[in-house]
Amino acid sequence: MMNYRKYQKQYYMPPVECNDWVKKDAIDKAPLWCSVDLRDGNQALVIPMDLDTKIEFFKMLCEVGFKEIEVGFPAASETEFVFLRRLIEENLIPDDVTVQVLTQAREHIIKRTFEALKGCKNAIVHVYNSTSFAQRQQVFKKDKEHIKQIAVDGARLLKELTEEAGEKYRFEYSPESFTGTEPEYALEVCNAVLDVWKPTADRKAIINLPSTVELSMPHVYAQQVEYMSKNLKYRENVMLSLHPHNDRGSGVADAELGVLAGADRVEGTLFGNGERTGNVDIITLAMNLYMQGTDPKMHFDNMPEICRKYEEFTGMEVNPRSPYCGKLVFAAFSGSHQDAIAKGMHWREEKDPDHWTVPYLPIDPTDIGRSYDKDVIRINSQSGKGGVGYVLETNYDLILPKKMREAMGYAAKDLSDHLHKELQPDEIFSLFKEKFENIQEPLSVHGVHFRQLDDGQIEASVNAKNGSGDYRVTVAEGNGRLDAVSNALKKAYGFEYQLSTYQEHALSKSSSSNAIAYVGITKPDGTQAWGAAVDPDIIRASIDALITAINNR
């Protein structure tokens, strides 16, 4: 039996009201992104990446646009140490990319970290210690002053070793478990660290506020971040950074509200891979900016390839419903959704608007390397006429009459339901040809001769055969060629129907100069039957379409 009484609030509100972030409705500039895929992401894998795989992953992170990449914890293992050395010695770090290394605020670990950094051009040394009430009480069994001193000593050693090395490494400090720390105390520790570093405009320090474990609703984290932003010393020379985890499933909201609250930088991973429920997903964050017209400063224009490489490198799978990148996130199976998308796409073609507003599609899938025909309109037993019509039009240049789309939609739904599977475009096209194109049984026409009459009518002499093998040559008049043929067939075999729809168009995607004709007939009970036919001669195509419609009665 679940006992909710064993839990209580574990977070702390700022001592003063911090709600300025509420007045903002959008992020108008991308924060600086830092990938922690090679640290948090790698340590969360069942089988961590080997050295060569980590190097390939690093190269991909550079390609998609990260300018800061946490490459690991060099003092934690020989593999981590060697990885950083290879990046440096093989000159694999681009000049505009800064690598970040993680270290605990412990002397021997910090010194080992600096050994790994030797010769590195651009680096951030990221030092941390846990400050939360729970860890002070249960893990370290130390009071606030002792915990603060650990942070200060670590900060001082970073500065000394950097000066000894003759480098200008930048520094980052994280009060680990910030979300479980009293905000006034977290501020006190961070300001003590900043007093050691004394950051300047040309060498800013980073104060990183990790929701090491997500403990509250996002608006609480935003208030905590705003409190820190307003009260940090040297604020103009500090990059305020966020490192949200996703224990409550609110990592993206934490990051977005945290940026509204004053943060300048976000640490996260591709697809949110990380400890427990994961780190914040930088792809989602960046694409959320993109879909509202803000440049995310990242290159996600080939999302399928990023997904493929990520899955190869990590052994993880991208969830098919993962925002923007999942295989099904643009897929519309619902008939009403498909109809709205198809109409929206036609509206764009007609109006050529400046901005994207297609229903059900927050962004244009082609912007990130996806396609309309394979990724958007997907056909199964829940689909409708709009989706089926759109697939036939975009893939095969078939512009079905409105009512015929309905009939084709039902045919596709029935087939999908029978097979218990999604239908691919080629299967839908084959179904159309089977059900509606050039059906010559039981009725077929073997010859037609036309004559123009003095009153403007057309006379047709039609040689036809029915299912019993009964050949008949019948002459009839009509107000056009198709009408005359139709009247002759009615006269010959006693058919009862009315020609209700006729439509034709050229097949621009065809390799020859073919045209297609669609014919709909209305039976005495009011229902319709449909036929289509393709031929270089549009008259021949229209007659074959009529024959198909009659055979489909």
Closest alpha carbon to 266 in 277, 257, 274, 255: 255
Indicate the pLDDT class of residue 511, thresholds 50, 70 and 90. Answer: low
pLDDT (mean) for 172-192 = 98
Amino acid in the structure at residue 90: E
Tens digit of pLDDT for each residue in 394-425? 889 999 998 999 999 899 989 998 999 988 99
What percent of the chain is predicted at pLDDT more than 70? Answer: 99
CATH superfamily of 4-314: Aldolase class I (3.20.20.70)
pLDDT above 80 for 377: no
Tens digit of pLDDT for each residue in 335-363? 788 888 888 988 998 999 999 999 999 99
In the chain, residues under CATH classification 3.30.160.270 are: 444-551
Question: Tokens 């036919």 — which residue?
Answer: 533
* CATH number for region 444-551: 3.30.160.270
Indicate the pLDDT class of residue 12, thresholds 50, 70 and 90. Answer: very high
Q: How far apart are CA 127 and CA 534, in angstroms?
A: 72
Out of 306-310, 458-462, 470-474, 504-508, the most confident range is 306-310
pLDDT above 80 for 94: yes
pLDDT (mean) for 135-158 = 96
pLDDT (mean) for 485-499 = 93
pLDDT above 90 for 518: yes
- Whether residue 460 contacts residue 481, with contact meaning beta carbons closer than 8 Å, is answered with yes
pLDDT (mean) for 435-464 = 91
| Pure H helices in 166-217 | 183-197
What count of other Cβ atoms lies within 10 Å of the Cβ of residue 232?
Answer: 19
Q: How far apart are CA 207 and CA 40, in angstroms?
A: 18
In the chain, residues under CATH classification 3.20.20.70 are: 4-314
From 92-106, 359-373, 503-517, the region with the lowest mean pLDDT: 503-517
Which pTM does this prediction carry?
0.85
Q: How far apart are CA 215 and CA 385, in angstroms?
A: 47
